[in-house]
Chains A and B, each alone.
Chain A
Amino acid sequence: DTGVSQNPRHKITKRGQNVTFRCDPISEHNRLYWYRQTLGQGPEFLTYFQNEAQLEKSRLLSDRFSAERPKGSFSTLEIQRTEQGDSAMYLCASSADRRSQYGYTFGSGTRLTVV
């Protein structure tokens, strides 16, 4: 078990470009979460999946953001037409179905810089 893996670790992109991040959860975890963390702030919830079903989405997840988990394993988070305000750390986490109340396991995050 290598924990929650996120790729890439860092991404620099020009404003207006599309970016995609990948998250590989712990293999036996069927719940997967995406959070966004800006400098000096706590993580903010974006969305979460139970298996391949997206169960909840934040209003922060505008129509430029989309998340998928097609086979209930890894997940991708895509941001279209990036803006400077999208610069942040994007955190992925996972948990097992009956243990989500015990907290998540987080990945190391993908830091996005939009220039």
Chain B
Amino acid sequence: AQTVTQSQPEMSVQEAETVTLSCTYDTSESDYYLFWYKQPPSRQMILVIRQEAYKQQNATENRFSVNFQKAAKSFSLKISDSQLGDAAMYFCAYRRSYNTDKLIFGTGTRLQVFP
């Protein structure tokens, strides 16, 4: 069975600084998708960034980028130039590429941003 592990329950960063959130996963599949979702206090989950396992190039979305290490089964999220609005729960998620739409989530990392 696939699992997703986020080992950092809480992280904090100062405004304008950079922070990296960790995620590891376990799967025997070779083709899959990985996601980072943000859940602000209002509770609506928002997709931050996604990565396709067959692509070696790390995904980037504005201030958000990932470090995807397929062999190590690691998928970390880097937030550059942190803003107060980045404060939220961040969830890493995995989805097999075929026969299912099911997302498997980690337990989340709470990010605090200090002025």
Q: Which residue of A lies closest to B108 (CB)?
A: A42
Q: How many residues of B contact A (CB 8 A)?
A: 25
Per-residue interface assignment for chain A, residues 1 to 12, with 1 indicating a CB less than 8 Å from any chain B CB and 0 otherwise: 000000000000
Q: How far is the CA of A111 from the CA of B44 in the complex (A)?
A: 12
Q: Which of A84-115 contact B (CB under 8 A)?
A: 89, 91, 93, 95, 100-109
A interface, how many residues as a size bin? 20 to 34
Contacts of B45 in A (CB 8 A): 43, 91, 93, 106
Of B33, B101, B107, which one neighbours A95 at CB under 8 angstroms?
Answer: B101
CB pairs A–B below 8 angstroms (15 shown): A31-B101, A35-B103, A42-B93, A42-B106, A43-B105, A44-B105, A58-B102, A91-B45, A100-B101, A101-B52, A105-B47, A106-B45, A106-B46, A107-B44, A108-B42
